[in-house]
Amino acid sequence: VCYDGSSFAGWAAQEDERTVQGTLEDALGRLTGKRTIVCAASRTDSGVHAMGQVVNFKTASTIPVKKVPRALQALLPDDIVIVRAAEGSPAFDARRQAKKKLYSYMIVRSDVVTPAIRRTSWILSGDLDVAAMRRAAKEMTGKHDFTSFTVTDKRRKLGDPFRRIYSIRLKLGSLKEFYGGLAGGLGGRALKIDFSGDGFLYKMVRSIVGTLVDVGRGRISPDDIGRIFGARRRSSAGRTAPSRGLTLIKVYY
Amino acid sequence: VCYDGSSFAGWAAQEDERTVQGTLEDALGRLTGKRTIVCAASRTDSGVHAMGQVVNFKTASTIPVKKVPRALQALLPDDIVIVRAAEGSPAFDARRQAKKKLYSYMIVRSDVVTPAIRRTSWILSGDLDVAAMRRAAKEMTGKHDFTSFTVTDKRRKLGDPFRRIYSIRLKLGSLKEFYGGLAGGLGGRALKIDFSGDGFLYKMVRSIVGTLVDVGRGRISPDDIGRIFGARRRSSAGRTAPSRGLTLIKVYY
């Protein structure tokens, strides 16, 4: 499932809020005639986008699985797209069985951007020391206790705080490279940060991005990263980057 | 001015409708403290986008023109962006003095697309004979009476029906080429049709695109174009392409 998160209060169904889960479950209920619960690989936050979200649901419906994407799409708004559907084993769980996830975060270095860019990026002016950001990203790669890079609350308690990040890659490019015609021929550059990991805690990617930006601005040194991990306090790391720049790219099983 | 037309009922202010003109005039009214009328180079239709719309307004405000884009942006929703502002001569009229306009229309050849693509293109399946479309486009280039490619109504009477099209260019490419990362790694191709002309009648670009698609599907022959011009009736040409695929790219003075 692919969605533009701009007009959703995130994945997870909440009363009186427009959510991706709620919207999908409504459409599936109408399609199958039965209330249908959907489970997603990643419960993306309000404003976060997805290119390759994976969801599963159980149904007794006899609609051929090949026809589900088109039939479901007809009942969905334009900001959710069903890319593919397949029948899985009854034990398949999109969330628990995910082995690897890719996320991408877009930082745009331009005063003036088009609406399509604004919707999907963090717009930042001022200098960024990308070399220092790359050094800090290297320090974050590997298996770590990411308590300093997540937020807990009543609904979200911290379970196992260890995650393994396989890679964090920073790619500089032109707006045209990243957005094609939707860059509207405007000049300006962007920094794309690609994450690959075995899983990510709540707000973890955005906390890492915010911290990397603080490194890029010289507020945090790449040498501080070890100390930040050790502190196991959210306040020891940098700010949280805005959700609009974040996209769930792909989930591997 | 750049805007995503998806959530606007077009440029022209209408009561009880969210329009680009109305939204801009509201923001300018708040910025300058005076009701301010805005005139645009092109009164784009409902759902049509703009990368390089040009507007003018008169004001007694003492806000330095350099500061207008940022100050105005702070009062605008995310789907309108002020790219630049400059002081012009009191006689400047964005609409009447426009010498050349570029429009672009995007046709996407893929069953599955991302929300960003869906918002800005006409999604078409089935074969299209692009060579035949190019021959028909050539027949439309030059100065013609475009009565067969416009719609008139009480509010929009047909004045001078002659317009000169400098060029119509059809460019095939991958979704990635046209949409960058917003294509989400999906396969599929697109056909971009670029128009350059001294001006375009109401719904003229969309009527031409719809007719070109009918040519591409073999319903109209490129040899029929001369006869269609001669008929001077909208019904002699092909369908009207949907507004979401159309973008005003640039206006020259």
pLDDT digits (tens, 9 = 90+) for B125-147: 889 999 999 999 999 999 999 99
- Give the minimum alpha-carbon distance from A206 to chain B in angstroms, rounded to a whole number: 19
> Does residue A156 register a pLDDT over 80?
no
> Does residue A154 register a pLDDT over 80?
no
> What is the enclosing helix (H) or strand (E) of B106?
strand B100-109
Do residue B69 and residue A112 have CB atoms under 8 angstroms apart?
yes
> Does residue B10 register a pLDDT over 80?
yes
| Helix (H) and strand (E) counts in chain A | 7, 11
Do residue B181 and residue A176 have CB atoms under 8 angstroms apart?
no
The average pLDDT across B7-12 equals 96
- Write down the pLDDT at residue B102: 98
Percent of all residues in chain A with a pLDDT value above 70, rounded to a whole number: 100
Scanning B184-243 for CB atoms below 8 A from A yields 184-186, 192
Which pair of tokens denotes residue A218? 């010289």
The average pLDDT across A112-141 equals 95
The average pLDDT across B193-201 equals 97
- Write down the pLDDT at residue A110: 87
- Give the minimum alpha-carbon distance from B84 to chain A in angstroms, rounded to a whole number: 9
> Does residue A217 register a pLDDT over 80?
yes
> Does residue B150 register a pLDDT over 80?
yes
Q: List the single range of A105-119, A194-208, B90-104 with lowest mean pLDDT.
A: A105-119
* Calculated CA dihedral for residues A19, A82, B248, B190, nearest 10 degrees: 160
Nearest CA in chain B to A184: B51
> Does residue A129 register a pLDDT over 90?
yes
Angle CA A201–A118–B58, to nearest 5: 155
- Write down the pLDDT at residue B110: 87
Whole-angstrom CA distances from B191 to B4, B139, B178, B180 are 20, 19, 9, 15
- Write down the pLDDT at residue A158: 74
What are the pLDDT digits (tens) for B228-251? 999 999 999 999 999 999 999 999
Do residue A116 and residue B4 have CB atoms under 8 angstroms apart?
yes
- Write down the pLDDT at residue B152: 84
Q: Is A58 helix (H, G, I), strand (E, B) or coil?
A: coil
Burial of B190 (0-12, 13-18, 19+ CB in 10 A): buried
- Write down the pLDDT at residue B187: 82
- Write down the pLDDT at residue B245: 98
The average pLDDT across A152-177 equals 90
- Write down the pLDDT at residue B112: 85
Do residue B112 and residue A69 have CB atoms under 8 angstroms apart?
yes
The average pLDDT across B54-65 equals 95
Which pair of tokens denotes residue B237? 């040409």
What are the pLDDT digits (tens) for A79-124? 999 999 999 999 999 999 999 999 999 999 988 899 999 999 999 9
User: Residue B154: pLDDT band by 50, 70, 90 thresholds?
Assistant: confident
The average pLDDT across B181-202 equals 92
C-alpha distance across the termini of chain A, in Å: 15
The average pLDDT across B19-44 equals 97
- A89: which residues sit within 8 A by CB, 6+ positions away? none
Query: What's this model's pTM, rounded to 2 decimal places?
Result: 0.90
- Write down the pLDDT at residue B157: 76
Q: What is the mean pLDDT of chain A?
A: 95
For chain A, the C-alpha Rg in angstroms (whole number) is 19
> Does residue B49 register a pLDDT over 90?
yes
Do residue B179 and residue A178 have CB atoms under 8 angstroms apart?
no
Give the number of other Cβ atoms within 10 Å of residue B71's Cβ: 18
Q: Which of B6, B84, B179 sits opposite A182 (nearest CB)?
A: B179
Angle CA B75–A107–B80, to nearest 5: 25
Which pair of tokens denotes residue B66? 């350099």
Amino acid (one-letter) located at A200: F
Nearest to B214 by CA among B239, B189, B233, B193: B239
Chain A touched by B120 (CB under 8 Å): yes
User: Residue B184: pLDDT band by 50, 70, 90 thresholds?
Assistant: confident
Nearest CA in chain B to A84: B112
The average pLDDT across B80-105 equals 96
> Does residue A9 register a pLDDT over 90?
yes
| Cα gap A242→A248, rounded to integer Å | 14
Q: Which residues of B touch A114 (CB under 8 A)?
A: 2, 4, 51, 81
User: Residue B81: pLDDT band by 50, 70, 90 thresholds?
Assistant: very high
- Write down the pLDDT at residue B126: 87
Amino acid (one-letter) located at B238: G
Chain A touched by B105 (CB under 8 Å): no
- Write down the pLDDT at residue A65: 95
Nearest-10 crossing angle of helices B204-216, B130-140: 140
Q: Which residues of B touch A78 (CB under 8 A)?
A: 6, 115, 118-119
- Write down the pLDDT at residue A184: 85
- Write down the pLDDT at residue A126: 87
- In this structure, which long-range contacts are made by residues B63-70, counting pairs with CB atoms below 8 Å and at least 24 apart in sequence? B63/B31, B63/B32, B68/B31, B69/A112, B70/A111
- Write down the pLDDT at residue B155: 74
Range with top average pLDDT, A37-41, A110-114, B110-114 = A37-41
Q: Any idea which residue has 């009191």 for tokens?
A: B90
DSSP state of B80: E
